[in-house]
């Protein structure tokens, strides 16, 4: 207690630390780029590219080149106007130096420079500079080539002219080396960048983005003259579509609204939304406006043409089988939500509603055959919804007569609160029996699943909800699905998929992930879904060692030296309760993988490819990713 008093007395002016320049960024990097792991590393690239995209949105740039260099650096080149190099009127230093070395400095705060911007805070390039051991910036402007280099955000020399540019040549080149003392990994993922750049190219028709990797010689070029029309076609690849894409674009009150809509014969809804090319994965006012208008426009057409007999179509009805991309350009976007990817501007809702409503009504009147096809699809969804409602009621009635309203197979935990509780979804009764013996009954519940659950990607909602294993799962989780879903009723803070470390186990895991992605996406968004990593081998020499991969096994055998009897586990049911607890279920020793969605559009594409009806895209995907799958298994 005495020490604490001394500490309080010592809390004087000298204890107040002023972080100079970009020092604060290095002290708290996650505040600026989200994390210091893989997503944060890639965020550095996005920050630089977003500056080039802002030039493209302003009509000043039509090509961006991104190169992953052998030495670990990244180079981004654009043919925009080039960062200004003249002296800043206040700081009396070249504008280039100010932009790179000071937070909140940039053209995005001057409405005359950028009408709309993807960068939110004007901190992009300066944050990248602060988190890089070296950054080089070259600007071609006014017939000259300017250059400056920086070490962890500090200039190594003044801005200097290093040559003359060709007549009319202009643009910016940025090369940066991520600081490996800040990031847990400095290896860039080509496929992750590929996904984001494809998205940007779709959203900015006429813009070319080239991504290359020096070490592997990989190269991809993205250019889509059709913009959002090509985007929805791409998302619907491998699906049977009902009509050509509907497209509209209009500017109203300074906000540009652009959208494309195409229905397929499936059951899933897929609405992708963007604000100033930022993927708003949590939606926002623009999505609300779009969905409201879509429902109203389809009901208006259906009623006008006497296609509705009893009740109007609901939002769920008109969005079954819908693929849509809604993109808005907003001068001053206000973002909210957990990841700052939800648009909050209230005025945008009405603008998007108005533009979408007028555009759809006009399209339906000019294309009656397509309009009728869309209405018929929604009416079929309405019938299925009513049937599914009966199935849901049946699930609830069945639950009401069960023990405590829960499935008989569920071995529940004793904790009264859902905080820190875990539900293990286990493959088969044998593994379920071992897991029930191994668990800590206070906070761990076990639900054994019989065989492989239904592939919900191919089944209609009635069949899904009538399936016994699915209805047991819905009841055990507790929060319901569809319009009755209530995340506050979630019975466990972790839902853990625990399957065998073989091909069958991987298939069951994928089927369960498909179910959660399509029917309970909030569980994934809120970070409640996990995958248990079970061991492949037990190596016994003096004591038991549990090994999770073939590579790890080779290393261990080499380290132990001499002979050891190596046991290959065929399944979780083979383990006794003690082994299962200490390798897979004990929170102090186990390995868990948290399931997250980095890109909803990409996730939708992968689930459609892997779990849909079209064989060829699945075969191609598996052939390309076979090595990754083997590593994962």
Q: State how far the Cα of 47 lies from the Cα of 128, in Å rounded to an integer.
A: 8
Closest CA to 597 of 334, 338, 264: 338
Residue appearing with tokens 């600081």: 179
Three-state DSSP state, 314: coil
Report how far apart, in Å, the C-alpha atoms of 488 and of each of 281, 442, 595 are: 21, 21, 20
Q: Tokens representing 226?
A: 């059709």
Q: State how far the Cα of 65 lies from the Cα of 223, in Å rounded to an integer.
A: 12
99 in Cβ contact with 125 (< 8 Å): yes
Kindly report the number of other CB atoms within 10 A of residue 226's CB atom. Answer: 15
Q: State how far the Cα of 61 lies from the Cα of 560, in Å rounded to an integer.
A: 59
349 in Cβ contact with 285 (< 8 Å): yes
Task: Provide the sign of the torsion angle of the four alpha carbons 13, 14, 16, 20, taken in this order.
Answer: positive
Kindly report the number of other CB atoms within 10 A of residue 558's CB atom. Answer: 8
**Rg of the chain, C-alpha, whole Å:** 28
300, 504, 599, 632: the catalytic one is 504
105 in Cβ contact with 84 (< 8 Å): no
Q: State how far the Cα of 577 lies from the Cα of 148, in Å rounded to an integer.
A: 63
Q: Roughly how many angstroms between the first and final C-alpha of the chain, as a whole number?
A: 53
Catalytic residue flag (residue 78):
no
97, 422, 500, 605: the catalytic one is 500
The greatest distance separating any two alpha carbons of the chain, rounded to the nearest whole angstrom, comes to 83
Closest CA to 589 of 527, 526, 530, 546: 546
Kindly report the number of other CB atoms within 10 A of residue 388's CB atom. Answer: 21
Closest CA to 448 of 432, 434, 471, 470: 432
Catalytic residue flag (residue 179):
no
86, 164, 336, 502: the catalytic one is 502
318 in Cβ contact with 385 (< 8 Å): no
Catalytic residue flag (residue 86):
no
213, 258, 422, 427: the catalytic one is 427
Q: State how far the Cα of 66 lies from the Cα of 210, in Å rounded to an integer.
A: 6
* Burial track 563-583 (b if 16+ CB lie within 10 A, e otherwise): eeeeeebebbbebeeebbbbb
Do β-strands 422-427 and 444-449 pair in parallel, antiparallel, or remain unpaired? parallel
Report the alpha-carbon angle 225-325-201, nearest 5.
35
Catalytic residue flag (residue 504):
yes
260 in Cβ contact with 254 (< 8 Å): no
Q: What are phi and psi for residue 420, nearest 5 degrees?
A: 65, 15
Q: Tokens representing 264?
A: 């397929």
Active site residues: 427, 500, 502, 504
């Amino acid at each position: 207690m005495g020490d604490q008093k001394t500490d309080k007395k010592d809390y004087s002016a000298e204890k107040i630390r002023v972080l100079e320049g970009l020092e604060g960024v290095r002290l708290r990097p996650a505040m600026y780029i989200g994390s210091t792991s893989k997503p944060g590393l890639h965020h550095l690239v996005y920050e630089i590219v977003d500056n080039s995209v802002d030039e493209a949105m302003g009509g000043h740039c039509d090509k961006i080149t991104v190169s992953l260099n052998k030495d670990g650096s990244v180079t981004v080149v654009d043919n925009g106007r080039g960062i200004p190099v003249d002296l800043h009127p206040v700081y009396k230093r070249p504008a280039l130096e100010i932009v790179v070395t000071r937070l909140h400095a940039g053209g995005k705060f001057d409405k005359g420079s950028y009408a709309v911007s993807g960068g939110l805070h004007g901190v992009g390039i300066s944050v990248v500079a602060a988190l890089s051991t070296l950054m080089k910036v070259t600007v071609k402007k006014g017939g000259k080539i300017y250059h400056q280099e920086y070490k962890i955000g500090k200039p190594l020399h003044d801005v200097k002219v290093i040559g003359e540019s060709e007549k009319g040549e202009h643009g910016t080149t940025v090369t940066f080396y991520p600081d490996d003392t800040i990031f847990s990994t400095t290896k860039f993922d080509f496929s992750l960048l590929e996904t984001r750049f494809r998205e940007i190219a779709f959203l900015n028709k006429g813009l070319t983005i080239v991504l290359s990797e020096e070490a592997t010689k990989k190269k991809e070029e993205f250019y889509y003259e059709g913009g959002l029309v090509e985007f929805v076609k791409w998302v619907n690849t491998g699906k049977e579509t009902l009509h050509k894409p509907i497209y509209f674009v209009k500017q109203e009150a300074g906000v540009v609204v652009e959208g494309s809509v195409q229905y397929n014969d499936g059951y899933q809804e897929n609405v992708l939304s963007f604000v100033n090319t930022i993927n708003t994965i949590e939606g926002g006012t623009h999505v609300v406006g779009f969905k409201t208008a879509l429902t109203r426009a389809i009901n208006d057409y259906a009623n006008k043409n006497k296609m509705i007999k009893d009740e109007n179509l609901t939002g769920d009805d008109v969005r079954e089988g819908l693929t849509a991309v809604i993109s808005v350009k907003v001068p001053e976007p206000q973002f909210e939500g957990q990841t700052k990817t939800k648009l909050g501007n209230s005025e945008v809702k009405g603008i998007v509603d108005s533009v979408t409503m007028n555009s759809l009504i006009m399209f339906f009147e000019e294309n009656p055959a397509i309009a009728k096809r869309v209405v018929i699809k929604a009416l079929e969804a309405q019938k299925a919804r009513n049937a599914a409602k009966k199935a849901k009621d049946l699930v609830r009635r069945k639950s009401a007569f069960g023990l405590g309203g829960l499935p008989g197979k569920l071995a529940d935990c004793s904790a009264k609160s859902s905080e820190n509780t875990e539900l293990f979804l286990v493959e088969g009764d044998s593994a379920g029996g071992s897991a029930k013996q191994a668990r800590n009954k206070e906070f761990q519940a076990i639900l054994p699943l019989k065989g492989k659950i239904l592939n919900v990607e191919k089944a209609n909602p009635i069949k899904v909800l009538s399936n016994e294993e699915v209805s047991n799962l819905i009841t055990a989780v507790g929060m319901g699905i569809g319009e009755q879903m209530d995340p506050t009723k979630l019975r466990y803070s972790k839902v853990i998929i625990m399957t065998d470390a073989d091909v069958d186990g991987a298939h069951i895991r994928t089927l369960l992930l498909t179910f959660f992605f399509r029917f309970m996406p909030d569980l994934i968004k809120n970070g409640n879904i996990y995958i248990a990593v079970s061991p492949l081998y037990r190596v016994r020499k003096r004591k038991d060692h549990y090994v999770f991969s073939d590579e790890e096994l080779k290393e261990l055998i080499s380290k132990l030296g001499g002979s050891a009897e190596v046991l290959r586990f065929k399944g979780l049911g083979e383990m006794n309760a003690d082994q299962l607890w200490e390798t897979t279920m004990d929170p102090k020793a186990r390995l868990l993988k948290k399931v997250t969605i980095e890109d909803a559009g990409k996730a939708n594409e992968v689930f459609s490819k892997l779990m849909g009806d079209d064989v060829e895209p699945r075969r191609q995907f598996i052939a390309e990713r076979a090595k990754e799958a083997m590593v994962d298994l």
